[in-house]
Amino acid sequence: MIKQKVILLANTDWYLYNFRLPLANKLRDNGYEVILVSPEGKYGAKLQELGFRWHVMPMNRRSVNPWREASLVLWLARFFQREKPALVHGFTIKGAVYGSLAGKLAGVPIRINAVDGMGYVFTSQDLRARLLRPLVRLVMRSAFNGRRTAIILQNSDDIALFKQAGLADERSIRLIKGAGVNCLRYIPRPPADAGQRAPLRILLAARLIWEKGIAEYVEAARRLKGESRSVKFFLAGAPDEGNPAAVDKALIEGWVREGLVDWLGHVSDMPGLLSTMDVVVLPSYYREGLPTTLIEGAACALPLITTDAPGCREVVSRNGDDGILIPARDSSALADAIRLLDDDRALGIKLGLAARKKVLSEFDENIVLGKTLAVYRELGAQAN
């Protein structure tokens, strides 16, 4: 019996491997033939080693050349015509829009578009982003319509934006909170000896782009180290060279020499890293989808500090029962929140336990995968 094909498409192979591998495995286990598509990268080989078909598409993430972008859509349309998938599932704005447009051209029956945050065009205030915004809105409206089409958004703020801007038919919008986290891998560490008071270890793990609050994090470190507090600041992640807002590597190395942060680079073993930390922060002023770093930290029962920004406030409640919300772009407020958790370690334990309880009820991987497959079935996809 011929299996139904599903194509998962994203703007990096890193994204597919780190965030959508559980979905790919689940689809394969449920009888689908899964094809993965992304620009070239070192994670493609890892996907192939796991038995998946992975194809390189000629996407340049930084490109805003309309002819180049149009040629990419046509390339995808020809690829879809050859493969004849039953369903195309695109991730991130570029992957979702281009995958959906190409799917329409190629006659793909079902198109699912997962927008994980609103991206550079909608979050940046620089001139290029503002000029591109009306055009991107127009293209999104064209891409995200159709009888067997769904738009998966990760937070209520993005749903409100989509409805207000008319970016998609309201009937096609679905809310699924994030990519999920495996709560059997991300677990709380054993409690520390109450008699010990080790330095508080703070972690910011993210793509190193300014919108993640990198400058505010470094400034908070500078403030607290100036008080001679025993607090250690760790930065995990690599500069996102495909993003115009990437933090320059030389600048990060300067912060390390100054003694403000320990830079860990890309970390593949996040459960292991989190088991050595005390607090997870994400001072983002970005329109996040649903920040995986916060979900992973919460699953490990670590207290969270994040901004009252779209996506972030889906994880941490406004009343602060399961973490601390601070204003965006406010290094002083971030320093105050870290100072509070340094002084009151019992509060950190309380917030961390509440955060894990929320993850188990809302963000567990099995919950997210179940809701995603329900959308597939609703639109008529059937495994053989």
The pLDDT tens digits for 170-221 are 899 999 999 999 999 999 988 766 556 789 999 999 999 999 999 999 999 9
User: What distances in angstroms separate CA 97 from CA 1, 82, 105, 138, 262, one per listed residue?
Assistant: 32, 20, 12, 11, 38
Dmax (CA) of the chain: 68
CATH topology of domain 200-363: Rossmann fold (3.40.50)
Domain limits of the chain?
Answer: 5-180+364-378, 200-363
The per-residue pLDDT for 131 is: 80
Q: Which two tokens stand for residue 47?
A: 């996907």
Dihedral angle at the C-alpha atoms of 173, 141, 292, 252, nearest 10 degrees? -170
Average pLDDT over residues 308-323: 90
Q: Per-residue pLDDT for 291 more than 90?
A: yes
CB distance 154 to 91 below 8 Å: no
Decide if pLDDT at 289 tops 90.
no
pLDDT confidence of residue 134: 80
Give the per-residue pLDDT at 320: 80
Please report which confidence band the pLDDT of residue 65 belongs to, taking 50, 70 and 90 as the band edges: confident
Q: Average pLDDT of 121-143?
A: 77
Look up the pTM and report it.
Answer: 0.91
Residue 1 confidence (pLDDT)? 57
pLDDT at 23 over 80: yes
- Region 5-180+364-378: CATH code: 3.40.50.2000
